[in-house]
Structures are given as C-alpha cells and as structure tokens.
Amino acid sequence: MWKGSRGTPHRTYTARLNTEPPVELFAEIMSEDFVRSDHRTLIALPTANREQFAEQASIWFQMGDGSPIFEFREALGVAGERLVLCAVWIGYGSGEGVDMLQIIVFDEPVERMEQLISFDIDDVDAALAELNRLHVAMQGAGA
C-alpha cells in the first residue's frame, strides 16, 4: 500500500475525509506509538500521539467549509526504506488551505506511519537536515 516501485515508502494521493474523523483509518495507517511533531513557525501544533492526533482531526471536521482534503503533492526526498519527505497541501472544500513539508517515518515492516514531522513549505533545508539526521540514526540503530 505504501511502497513505490522500488520498495521505497511513498505514495501520491489526495484523500477527502467526508463525514467524521477517520479514527479507524488512523488505527490502520498509524502505528500504536505514532507521534506527530510540528516545526512550523506560524501555526505549529502541539506534539501528539495517535489518539491526540485523532482528537485534533475532529476539530478540523468542525471548522472550515467542508471536509478536510489531504493532498501529497510531491516526494522531495527518500532515505532508506522508511523515510520520505513530501510537499503536502491540507485544505477544505472552500479551497483555502495550507502548504507544508512533511517527513513520514514508517514502521519496521513499512506498513504504517510511526512519525509525521511538519515543516514550513519554504524550510526545505531544515526538513532535509532532519531527514538525513533520522536516516543516520536509523542506520546506527541497525533499523
């Protein structure tokens, strides 16, 4: 589901979440020890585990002019089998939204997200440095 043609973890898609927070989807695509961290300067959200992230997502359903749209626009970097940096747009049916960079760290069998790390869309250097740091740490840990 998440692997590209050479086994690298990436996927380009647009997802529209229609009626309520996708708690079941989160359980399917996020590991039990999932952590989301946000390094954006203007609208950084607090660090959250899978349950907290689901609670935050429920707020997205209560605001805006429609259901959230998550669009992964471009993979900017892949490191090893478990790391991908991509450009993402998150918005609502009104067309308003936010562009950002996200690093997705996959679990060991490369089936579910273990971490989601957000950066400002123009903070490519910091995102690439974090991607490299994570890759080196995983290699050192034998992952």
d(CA 81, CA 121): 24
User: pTM for this one?
Assistant: 0.78
Q: How far apart are CA 44 and CA 62, in angstroms?
A: 19
Cβ–Cβ < 8 Å for 126, 76: no
Residue 22 is predicted with a pLDDT of 59
Q: Is 77 helix (H, G, I), strand (E, B) or coil?
A: strand
89-126: per-residue pLDDT in tens?
887 666 778 899 999 999 988 889 999 999 999 999 99
What are the residues whose beta carbons fall under 8 Å from the beta carbon of 130, sequence distance 6 or more? 39, 103, 117, 119
pLDDT tens digits for range 7-60: 444 443 444 455 455 566 777 888 999 999 999 998 888 899 988 887 777 676
| Higher pLDDT, residue 73 or 8 | 73
